[in-house]
Amino acid sequence: MKQKILSNEEIAPGIFRMVVNMWKEAQKACPGQFVHIRCSSSNDPLLRRPLSIHELIPETVGVLYRVVGKGTDLLSKKKRGDVLDIIGPLGCGFRTKPAVEPVVIVAGGMGVAPLLFLAQSLMNVDRHMRAKQALPQNRLASLPLQRRDVRVLIGAKTREFILCEEEFTKLGCSVDIATDDGSYGQEGYVSSLFEESIRKKKAGQVFACGPNAMLREIAAMSARRAVECHVSLESRMGCGVGVCLGCVIKTKGKDGISGYRRVCRDGPVFDAQTVLWDEFISRL
């Protein structure tokens, strides 16, 4: 689909939030899915860039990305009114259980990208926004967001790279922060904050996205407490639809037998206990 850019703003050093027109297929997107964006009108760079759907509200789709190479550098130079070639939504997203609480969301650095959409979904923001379009203004006050016990833990190297704290708070989530240098929130890694959090309050479900080493720790801590944990993985992708097999990882099933799965098609969200972490991290 060809979609028009509505805004493309730098919200932290080298980190951009882009908003584009919503298209018909995007209205059915699930948290954790991604879009595949062509960054140039030429064949350089050849491959599209996979970007998580950051937020989904009526008429618009938002993505969050960091400039790390030629493709994302080209994206960062796009202006309002420019048109992008987008495929999506793609992949399998987060699988939530409405009756299971509390929910703990763990975001490490740019791992916050797919997790705001997840929080919006947990709080039924999509239902609320659809109703807002249909109901007269005087009835909106009687249509509160669904309040759930959702705890969000955000980690980053330093204060300036803490993303979306205000957005999560406005949704009604409780938010705790950790920075490596102690410039904001608790000093240390977000994995330590998670361990402290689940020790004080047992988690019902855990959802995480961030650096692979962090995800491995979150998975191990969740396993020790028998808490269901799902993680969103990042991998180099070619086609984005499962044909090229460029993003295959080795996983294990419930029977303990190992097999190969595609991050783009079978993921990017996986049950954390099915990922062979040492092998996954070593191949990147």
Q: What are phi and psi of 183, to 5 degrees?
A: -75, -15
Domain 2-90: CATH class, spelled out: mainly beta
Which residues of the chain fall below pLDDT 70? 125-147, 254-257, 283-284
Residue 134 is predicted with a pLDDT of 47
SS3 of residue 188 by DSSP:
coil
Q: Which residues contact 48 (CB under 8 A, 6 or more apart)?
A: 36, 37, 38, 39, 87, 240
DSSP states along 101-163: --EEEEEEGGGGTTHHHHHHHHTTHHHHHHHHHHS-GGGGGG-PPPP--EEEEEEESSGGG--
Bridge partners for 17 per DSSP: 9, 64
By C-alpha distance, which of 123, 106, 110, 24 is closest to 67? 110
Residue 23 is predicted with a pLDDT of 86
pLDDT digits (tens, 9 = 90+) for 7-27: 999 999 999 999 999 888 888
Residue ranges, CATH 3.40.50.80, the chain: 103-282
Residue ranges, CATH 2.40.30.10, the chain: 2-90
The C-alpha atoms of residue 122 and residue 119 are separated, in whole angstroms, by 5
The C-alpha atoms of residue 131 and residue 135 are separated, in whole angstroms, by 6
Which H, E and C letters describe 208-242, residue by residue?
A: EECCHHHHHHHHHHHHHCCCEEEEECCCCCCCCCC
Q: In this structure, which amino acid lies at residue 45?
A: P
> Beta strands 248-252 and 174-179: pairing type?
unpaired
Angle between helices 190-200 and 212-224 (to 10 degrees): 20
Q: Using CA of residue 215, residue 109, residue 122, residue 186, what is the dihedral sign?
A: positive
For the chain, the residue count is 284
Residue 235 is predicted with a pLDDT of 83
* The overall pTM is greater than 0.85: yes
Bridge partners for 262 per DSSP: 248
Q: Is 103-282 a CATH 3.40.50.1370 domain? A: no
Residue indicated by tokens 């995800």? 215
